[in-house]
């Protein structure tokens, strides 16, 4: 994208979770609070030299950094010196403008990446971003944030379980056999694999050990850590009158591997019992979501959820989709923008252990999410839809749509990945659809399915974007200095 196109997007974007604009006259230390808040939350862009949209409109907001160049220099020094721990990945770039006085000038843009760490100012203050505000947090919230990011490992903590009578012995026998460790004592084997701790001959399971091998981790840990299955007739829950459940909702508990296996068995029953549809000379189930895609979705949820949160994974079946919602937001530096090709394990012991079973539900070769996208595409279905934290706070919500793609979707989706937003006119141009109403129906239908989000009420200002996407994806790599 060229500078003019990027500036147009900045002018059209309201300050929110991942975007803030400030005059160059602002005190540099105040900008530093936003840097920390962005790094601790979802990352974002700070545009210096751009007036607040509530104080001016359009190109009158283009004040430029010539208003106070010294503040820019001071701001950059503070980023390097006044944040603990230091930021690893952030970047900066400039955009050429003609300022409000008609003179050549620049906007200064700082791109802050979501961080794996929890950052504070050296004076001791820690901030997160909530809406358009930087919110100072205290020790309790800092601890919660560390669990959320994976900086503190819930799985490494002691479980209080000191007797092997509480574990699924048969499952442990299988695991020892699968790892060629039959000769080791049970406690020593668990300790050697990070699943127990031992002092002077006394042993205790870690919480990872309990989650993986306890007969009922929810009881032993006094924590909701199962999978809740809800299956509905139709495309949404009925909140009035008779509930539209296909069957009474139920919770799957027990060792994590068994939870995954039982969830997959239920999925197979859903496919088996779905009404058949004649295609050619053969009847096929009308539930189209591939088993492998569901397996990857449920396995990811079990491995990467935040177990410090008191809640179960929620799996909801509808006629047109499967929803998998796991407690805790995206771990570490993972976002919906990079989830297909970046890796970060909030629970590395759980990931490692499940992978070492011969019947492992996960390959742990870094391509699971990307393969899920490819499998859905190969079946002619819509790509998996991850909702951003701005729309679904404190959870990761994944939709697997049980719908064949409309042929124009790939063209529109690719355009949005590169250009951020699309109007009816632009959609018609790239798809060669000439009928305005037909294009409107397609855009509206995609929005109803959750694939698009409509922005703007007036027709002249209306456009569509992917849910929660506030900046073009192409900008996310621009100006990054790779400070590691």
| pLDDT tens, position by position, 190-228 | 999 999 999 878 999 999 999 999 999 999 999 999 999
Q: How confident is the model at residue 484 (pLDDT cuts 50, 70, 90)?
A: very low
Phi-psi region of 401 (alpha: psi -120 to 50; beta: other; left: phi over 0): beta
Q: Across residues 104-119, what is the average pLDDT?
A: 96
- Is residue 473 pLDDT above 90, yes or no? no
Q: State how beta strands 245-252 and 44-48 pair.
A: unpaired
In this predicted structure, what is the pLDDT of residue 178? 96
- Is residue 365 pLDDT above 60, yes or no? no
Q: State how beta strands 19-22 and 44-48 pair.
A: parallel
Instruction: Write the pLDDT tens digit of every residue in 225-266.
Output: 999 999 999 999 988 888 999 999 999 999 999 999 999 999
In this predicted structure, what is the pLDDT of residue 418? 85
Q: What is the separation of C-alpha 403 from the centre of its chain, rounded to a whole number of angstroms?
A: 23
| Contact indicator for 136, 125 with CB cutoff of 8 Å | yes
Instruction: Write the pLDDT tens digit of every residue in 266-282.
Output: 999 999 998 877 566 66
In this predicted structure, what is the pLDDT of residue 188? 94
Compute CA distances 25 → 29, 68, 291, 349, 473, whole Å.
Answer: 12, 6, 56, 49, 29
Could you tell me which of 34, 36, 19 has the C-alpha nearest to residue 142?
36
Tokens of 196: 């127990």
Q: Domains in the chain, please, with CATH?
A: 3-152 (3.30.950), 154-216 (no CATH), 227-401 (3.30.565.60), 409-475 (1.10.10)
Instruction: Write the pLDDT tens digit of every residue in 453-472.
Output: 998 877 777 899 999 887 77
Mean pLDDT (the chain, rounded): 92
Q: What is the 3-state secondary structure (H, E, C) of the chain?
A: CCHHHHHHHHHHCCCECCEEEECCCCCHHHHHHHHHHHHHCCCEEEEECECCCCCCCHHHHECCHHHCHHHHHHHHHHHHHCEECCCCCEEEEEEEEECCCCCEEEEEEEEECCCCCCCEECCCCCEEEECCEEEECCHHHHHHHHHHHCCCCHHHCECCCCCHHHECHHHHHHHHHHCCCCCCCHHHHHHHCCCEEEECCEEEEEHHHHHHHECCHHHHCCCCCCEEEEEECCCCCCCCCCCCEEEEEEEECCCHHHHHHHHHHHHHHHHHHCCEEEECCEEEECCCCCHHHHHHHHHHHHHHCCCCCCCCEEEEEECCEEEEEEECCCCCCCCCCCCCCCCCCCCHHHHHHHHHCCCCCCCCCCCHHHHHHHHHHHCCECCCEECCCCCCCCEEEEEEECCECCCCHHHHHHHHHHHCCECHHHHHHHHCCCCHHHHHHHHHHHHHHCCCEEECCCHHHCEEECCCCCCCHHHHHCCECCCC
Q: How confident is the model at residue 482 (pLDDT cuts 50, 70, 90)?
A: very low
Tokens of 245: 């459940």
Could you tell me which of 355, 266, 248, 250 has the C-alpha nearest to residue 302?
355
- Is residue 481 pLDDT above 60, yes or no? no
Residue 43 CB partners (closer than 8 Å, separation 6+): 18, 111, 112, 113, 114, 115, 335
- Is residue 283 pLDDT above 80, yes or no? no
Q: What percent of the chain has pLDDT over 70?
A: 95
Residue tagged 């591939």 (tokens)? 290
In this predicted structure, what is the pLDDT of residue 339? 92
Radius of gyration for the chain, computed over Cα atoms and rounded to the nearest angstrom: 25
The number of beta carbons lying within 10 Å of the beta carbon of residue 357 is 17
Q: Across residues 174-188, what is the average pLDDT?
A: 95
| Contact indicator for 424, 443 with CB cutoff of 8 Å | yes
Instruction: Write the pLDDT tens digit of every residue in 139-172.
Output: 999 999 999 999 999 999 999 999 999 899 999 9
């Amino acid at each position: 994208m060229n500078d003019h196109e990027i500036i147009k997007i900045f002018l059209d974007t309201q300050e929110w979770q991942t975007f803030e604009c400030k005059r160059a006259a602002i005190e540099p230390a105040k900008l530093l609070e936003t840097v920390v808040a962005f790094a601790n939350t979802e990352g974002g862009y700070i545009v210096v030299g751009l007036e607040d949209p509530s104080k001016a409109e359009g190109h009158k907001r283009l004040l430029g950094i010539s208003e106070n160049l010294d503040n820019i220099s001071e701001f950059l020094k503070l980023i390097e010196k006044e944040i603990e721990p230091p930021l690893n990945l952030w970047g900066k770039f400039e955009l050429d403008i003609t300022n409000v006085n008609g003179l050549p000038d620049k906007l200064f843009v700082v791109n802050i990446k979501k961080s794996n760490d929890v950052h504070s100012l050296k004076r001791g203050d820690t901030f997160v971003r909530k809406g358009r505000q930087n919110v100072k947090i205290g020790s309790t919230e800092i601890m919660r944030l560390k669990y959320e990011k994976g900086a503190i490992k819930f799985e490494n903590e002691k479980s209080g379980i000191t007797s092997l009578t509480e574990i699924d012995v048969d499952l442990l026998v299988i695991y020892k056999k699968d790892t060629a460790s039959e000769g080791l004592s049970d406690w020593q084997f668990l300790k050697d694999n990070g699943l127990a701790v031992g002092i002077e001959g006394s042993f205790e399971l870690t919480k990872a050990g309990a989650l993986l091998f306890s007969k009922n981790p929810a009881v032993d840990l006094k924590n909701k850590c199962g999978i809740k299955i809800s299956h509905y007739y139709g495309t949404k829950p009925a909140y009035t009158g008779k509930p539209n459940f296909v069957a009474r909702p139920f919770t799957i508990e027990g060792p994590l591997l068994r939870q995954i296996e039982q969830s997959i068995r239920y999925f197979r029953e859903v496919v088996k019992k779905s009404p058949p549809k004649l295609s050619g000379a053969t009847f096929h189930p009308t539930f189209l979501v591939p088993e492998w895609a569901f397996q990857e979705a449920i396995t990811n949820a079990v491995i990467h959820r935040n177990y410090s949160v008191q809640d179960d994974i929620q799996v909801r079946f509808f006629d047109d989709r499967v929803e998998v919602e796991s407690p805790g937001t995206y771990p570490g530096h993972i976002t919906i923008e990079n989830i297909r090709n970046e890796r970060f394990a909030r629970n590395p012991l759980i990931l490692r252990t499940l992978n070492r079973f011969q019947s492992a539900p996960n390959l742990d070769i870094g391509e699971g999410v990307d393969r899920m996208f490819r499998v859905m595409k190969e079946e002619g279905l819509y790509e998996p839809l991850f909702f951003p934290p701005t729309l679904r706070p404190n959870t990761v919500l994944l939709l697997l749509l049980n719908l064949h793609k409309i042929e124009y979707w790939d063209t529109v989706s690719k355009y949005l990945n590169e250009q951020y937003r699309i109007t009816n006119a632009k959609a018609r141009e790239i798809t060669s659809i000439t009928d305005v109403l037909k294009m409107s129906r397609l855009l509206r239908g995609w929005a109803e399915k959750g694939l698009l989000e409509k922005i703007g009420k007036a027709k002249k200002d209306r456009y569509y974007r992917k849910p929660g996407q506030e900046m073009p994806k192409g900008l996310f790599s621009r100006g990054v200095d790779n400070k590691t």
